[in-house]
């Protein structure tokens, strides 16, 4: 069915929904009847396909629906209506979806409809979680030059275990056994790496080791962690509403998590001042994990020593450095090789003398 026809029928159905008590099915049926004078000359298969496309345009994500459900696609991004890219099977490729600026805007509005997140000139950035668990990030002009920038990061529906990573060649059997033992011993573990290096996948694989016994509380900017924990509370941050109130930060969530009797605390990603609250929590005897962007395991440690200083001028650097050395027991660094395969490239551990040494197994 021509795209213009689908848009015309969808627009009419949208008008019916906004002005009357029609359900989405009634609105689509009436809009099709109006467009084709009762639909008498429309073959049943054609009409059925048209209804499906209109429904997708109204309640789904239009041309992105098939991309989002495709398990081989890891990420989708839109730089402009004619510049749509996907990362699929370790390769980037450009698609021609014949989108318009209005298509992109309407898709994003539908994506944000149930999230409570806002997007306007006063708040030109938004992070949200789609119904299937994918992470949405949008930036609009005049922060971007001309067009809306949209990123959809997909996450696997199944939980990867250490055994799964062994089968994929991301980690050796010996290293997996070592990490599992360290996890069970209550070590605080920092997982580092660049964007898309597999940090969250590794974190979830480590968490799986204690999924039947621990009580897990996790805090994130947007929900990304996947786990089979029997006893798990997941929390995410919240932006301020249109009146500028109601914001819930990661720092607030870490403090709330400490009141929830966790045996394992996870911060999805440490980026700013919440690093201080994490260190305080870990220094209180709660085992924890977090991820951090860094180029190596050693650089991850140095970065973790700097981030808490963002919490205020009265935070002594010496205190932060000593706390990191006392609380973090293990750093697992992930990277993506030239073929797009993710692997654990470095693991460092603090020895009895407080020196950081590389673990080679």
Q: For residue 72, give the CATH number of its domain.
A: 3.30.450.90
- How far is the C-alpha of 96 from the C-alpha of 152, rounded, in Å? 17
43 and 130 share one domain: no
128 and 34 share one domain: no
131 and 183 share one domain: no
- How far is the C-alpha of 149 from the C-alpha of 26, rounded, in Å? 34
70 and 137 share one domain: yes
144 and 282 share one domain: no
281 and 347 share one domain: yes
Per-residue pLDDT of 228-241, as tens digits, reads 899 999 999 987 77
Residue of 25, 103, 91, 6 whose CA lies nearest to 61:
103
Flag whether the pTM goes above 0.85: no
pLDDT at 7 over 80: no
Which domain does 322 fall in, by range? 162-358
166 and 40 share one domain: no
pLDDT at 115 over 80: no
43 and 95 share one domain: no
CATH of the domain at 177: 3.40.50.300
- How far is the C-alpha of 234 from the C-alpha of 341, rounded, in Å? 29
205 and 100 share one domain: no
263 and 114 share one domain: no
Tokens of 22: 């029609």
Q: What is the mean pLDDT of residues 290-318?
A: 93
Residue 164 is predicted with a pLDDT of 93
Per-residue pLDDT of 85-114, as tens digits, reads 999 887 899 999 989 998 899 889 888 876
Q: What is the mean pLDDT of residues 6-34?
A: 77
Q: Which of 107, 122, 153 marks a domain boundary?
A: 153
Pairing of β 342-350 and β 91-95: unpaired
Burial (CB count within 10 angstroms: exposed 0-12, middle 13-18, buried 19+), residue 248: middle
Residue 238 is predicted with a pLDDT of 85
Percent of the chain past pLDDT 70, that is, above it, reads 94
**Could you give the number of structural domains in the chain?**
3
- Contact present, 139 and 79 (Cβ < 8 Å): no
Q: Which of 101, 132, 153 marks a domain boundary?
A: 153
82 and 43 share one domain: no
- How far is the C-alpha of 240 from the C-alpha of 125, rounded, in Å? 12
Q: What is the mean pLDDT of residues 185-206?
A: 94
pLDDT at 318 over 80: yes
pLDDT at 176 over 70: yes
**DSSP 8-class letter at 139:** E
330 and 209 share one domain: yes
């Amino acid at each position: 069915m021509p795209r213009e026809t689908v848009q015309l029928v969808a627009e009419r159905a949208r008008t019916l929904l906004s002005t009357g008590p029609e359900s989405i099915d009634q609105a689509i049926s009436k809009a099709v009847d109006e467009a084709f004078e009762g639909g008498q000359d429309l073959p049943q298969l054609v009409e059925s396909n048209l209804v499906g496309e209109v429904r997708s345009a109204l309640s789904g994500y239009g041309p992105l629906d098939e991309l989002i459900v495709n398990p081989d696609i890891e990420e989708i991004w839109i730089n402009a209506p004619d510049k749509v890219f996907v990362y699929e099977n370790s390769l980037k490729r450009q698609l021609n979806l014949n989108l318009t600026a209005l298509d992109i805007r309407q898709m994003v509005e539908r994506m944000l409809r149930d999230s409570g997140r806002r997007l306007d000139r006063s708040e030109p950035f938004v992070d949200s979680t789609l119904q299937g668990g994918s992470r949405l990030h949008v930036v609009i002009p005049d922060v971007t030059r001309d067009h809306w920038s949209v990123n959809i990061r997909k996450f696997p529906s199944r939980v990867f275990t250490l055994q799964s990573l062994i089968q994929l060649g991301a980690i050796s059997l010996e290293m997996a056994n070592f990490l599992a033992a360290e996890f069970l011993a209550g070590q605080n573990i920092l997982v580092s790496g660049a964007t898309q290096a597999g940090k969250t996948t590794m974190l979830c694989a480590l968490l799986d080791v204690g999924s039947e016994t621990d009580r897990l509380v996790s805090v994130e900017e947007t929900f990304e962690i996947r786990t089979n924990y029997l006893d798990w509370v997941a929390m995410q941050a919240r932006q301020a509403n249109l009146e500028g109130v109601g914001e819930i930060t990661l720092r607030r969530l870490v403090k709330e998590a400490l009141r929830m009797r966790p045996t394992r605390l996870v911060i999805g990603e440490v980026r700013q001042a919440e690093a201080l609250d994490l260190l305080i929590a870990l220094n209180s005897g709660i085992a924890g994990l977090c991820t951090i962007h860094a180029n190596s395991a050693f650089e991850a440690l140095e970065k973790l020593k700097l981030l808490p200083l963002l919490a205020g001028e009265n935070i002594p650097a010496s205190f932060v450095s000593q706390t990191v050395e006392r609380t973090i027991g293990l750093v697992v660094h992930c990277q993506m090789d030239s073929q797009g395969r993710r692997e654990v490239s470095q693991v460092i551990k603090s020895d009895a003398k407080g020196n950081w040494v590389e673990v080679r197994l």
